[in-house]
Amino acid sequence: MRADQSSVLTSSWFSHFWSSSLRSKPLSPVSETSVRTNSGEGLVRRLSLFDLLLIGIGASIGAGIFVVTGTVAKDAGPGVTISFIVAGGCCVLNALCYAELASRFPAVVGGAYLYTYSAFNELTAFLVFSQLMLDYHIGAASIARSLASYVVSLLELIPLFKGNIPDWFGHGHEVLGALSINILAPILLVLLTIVLCRGVGESSVLNSIMTITKVIIVLFVIIVGAFEVDVSNWTPFAPNGAKSILTGATVVFFAYVGFDAVANSAEESKRPQRDLPLGIIGSLLICVVLYVGVCLVITGMVPYKFLGEDAPLAEAFTSKGLKYVSVLISFGAVAGLTTTLLVGLYVQSRLYLGLGRDGLLPAIFAKVHPTRHTPVHSQVWVGIVAIILAGLLNVRVLSHILSVGALTGYSVVSACVVTLRWKDKTASQVSTRWISKSAEGIICLLTIACCGFAAGVFYRFGASIVFMILAAVIAISCAAALYLRQVYADPPGFSCPGVPILPAISIFLNIFLFAQLHYEAWVRFVILSIITVGIYAFYGQYHADPVSSNASIIYHRAPAEEAE
């Protein structure tokens, strides 16, 4: 009898888990609504298009623009310019998909998590959130450490401090392998967390000032460097062939990651349906222009063989007798890292806010301060995690397992564009055929992703090009099936062109890049996915309520907007 009861309970648990995991968020594509949180207060709409552009640029361009451009150029030569253009083109595909969904659901925070919840199901959305969040947590701690190191380097320009600042204060002092003490990084994180808790207006002002400073410095570097360019250094343009350029593109792709932060500003944008797509695509295009400009300058100033490893751009200007530009680059690096860290902390809190509302995390994450209109509890939690990681651990050794979340999120968002365009999606899930059209379409999307991974593995390990072509042919066949066998509706607001072909290409390229990551990143993906399913099984499935969290929608205008 007990065995029978145990079997029934187990069957009931699995049945509940299965039905819960397949729930989706019934979010209507409304245009100018906003969300009321559990505390009865909502976020406030204060961000203009200019603010959104600066958020996208601030999130994407850090100190890397002064470093990664030169390090990749050592292998690709002047062809690194093409590497950045190719990588930028791949990111534009992702940006177009993000832009459509940001325009389609302009009222609610959540970004990739929200889109996945609406297009697919609850468990997939939770998996996307966990992969993104680990990237954000480790990335924020790593950036904070880099920022602390640059700040100390600037302080050491003052004779009083030169050689008198201990390593444990800013550069980090290793104690036991992974343990590394850093005092300045947590202090900087506390200051930025306070700014973010005070309100989106204050944090937006700081981000605007630092981003504008950073862009001005980059433009100054490009203009000054242009007068030192020797065009003969651009020959040969691709000394190591086309493969080095393509390999360089897989590396510099991650220099563009961050434009999706704009999508998480949905509830705080004044005119989200118009401004979010423009902010996403506009900020990315500006980043492409800046990166290409720096590439042309650095490869024109110094022959690519003689570029330094740690600070190639600064060393290039120093070699030309322009030491003051090197100092200016350090200030630009501080401004760049500050904005990247600020926007990263901001995005994390909004993602926690979304999951708190949906019940996948405790309700405390859903509370918004009644006067500041910021998710203070979520923001403080994000700050605490970053402070612990940055203050005690050598998180830079974990950098090779990053970017999994970004590539996973980009791929799923591209798939969301396709599935949300299907006409009569609900009806197509119930079919008299042996397989519904909806299931058929999802199988095609999964096959495209698998082909992208296979092609990436073949490329990485130098397999015959025949295998890569075979993977590409299968992916093209699946994209053709999506195009011919599904019926697509026109979305409200911004429309991504070329659906489903363009999103299919985006998925293929993203997973191709995923295959180029360190194998430990693959292990991290699997382990974190298992842990996430466990958390969902024992907590999320019992507390999630996507319907009620979507039912209480309200719009909070900024005082200035009300006056209009």
Beta-carbon-side half-sphere exposure of residue 376 (alpha carbons within 13 Å): 12
pLDDT band at residue 161 using 50, 70 and 90 as cut-offs: confident
| Cα distance between residue 557 and residue 448, in whole Å | 43
| Cα distance between residue 226 and residue 220, in whole Å | 10
| Cα distance between residue 82 and residue 236, in whole Å | 14
Looking at residue 36, its pLDDT comes to 42
**Per-residue pLDDT tens digits for 234-258:** 999 999 888 889 888 888 888 888 8
What is the C-alpha R_g of the chain?
24
If you ran DSSP here, which 8-state letter would residue 359 be given? T
The single residue listed with the structure tokens 């040969």 is: 236
Helix, coil or strand: residue 132? helix
Looking at residue 3, its pLDDT comes to 60
Looking at residue 33, its pLDDT comes to 44
Q: What percent of the chain has pLDDT over 90?
A: 53
Looking at residue 74, its pLDDT comes to 83
Q: What percent of the chain has pLDDT over 70?
A: 89
Identify the CA nearest to 91 among candidates 414, 499, 450: 414
**pLDDT surpassing 70 at residue 35:** no
Specify the range with the lowest mean pLDDT, choosing from 8-17, 122-131, 520-529. 8-17
CB-neighbour burial class of residue 534 (10 A; exposed 0-12, middle 13-18, buried 19+): exposed
pLDDT band at residue 552 using 50, 70 and 90 as cut-offs: very low
Interacting residues of 190 by C-beta distance below 8 A, sequence separation 6+: 383, 387
Using an 8 Å Cβ cutoff, are 58 and 340 in contact? yes
> Mean pLDDT over residues 386-414, rounded?
86
> Mean pLDDT over residues 439-448, rounded?
95
| Cα distance between residue 255 and residue 110, in whole Å | 23
Looking at residue 549, its pLDDT comes to 55
Using an 8 Å Cβ cutoff, are 365 and 356 in contact? yes
| Cα distance between residue 55 and residue 38, in whole Å | 27
Most confident of 118-132, 146-160, 300-314, 422-436: 118-132
Looking at residue 70, its pLDDT comes to 79
| Cα distance between residue 507 and residue 129, in whole Å | 18
Looking at residue 458, its pLDDT comes to 94
| Cα distance between residue 326 and residue 213, in whole Å | 16
**Residue 165, number of CB atoms within 10 A of its CB:** 16
Residue 176 is inside which H or E element, if any?
A: strand 173-176
Looking at residue 309, its pLDDT comes to 65
Spell out a b/e string for 406-422, using b for 16 or more CB atoms within 10 Å of the CB, else e.
bbbbbbbbbbbbbbbbb
Ramachandran angles phi, psi of 557, nearest 5°: -90, 150
pLDDT band at residue 559 using 50, 70 and 90 as cut-offs: very low
> Mean pLDDT over residues 167-182, rounded?
81
What's the chain's average pLDDT?
86
Looking at residue 555, its pLDDT comes to 38
Interacting residues of 165 by C-beta distance below 8 A, sequence separation 6+: 152, 155, 156
| Cα distance between residue 401 and residue 124, in whole Å | 21
Interacting residues of 384 by C-beta distance below 8 A, sequence separation 6+: none
**Per-residue pLDDT tens digits for 454-475:** 999 999 898 999 999 999 999 9
167-176: long-range contacts, CB 8 A cutoff, minimum separation 24: 172/145, 172/148, 172/394, 174/394
Task: Report the amino acid identity of residue 335.
Answer: A
Looking at residue 38, its pLDDT comes to 41
> Mean pLDDT over residues 353-368, rounded?
92
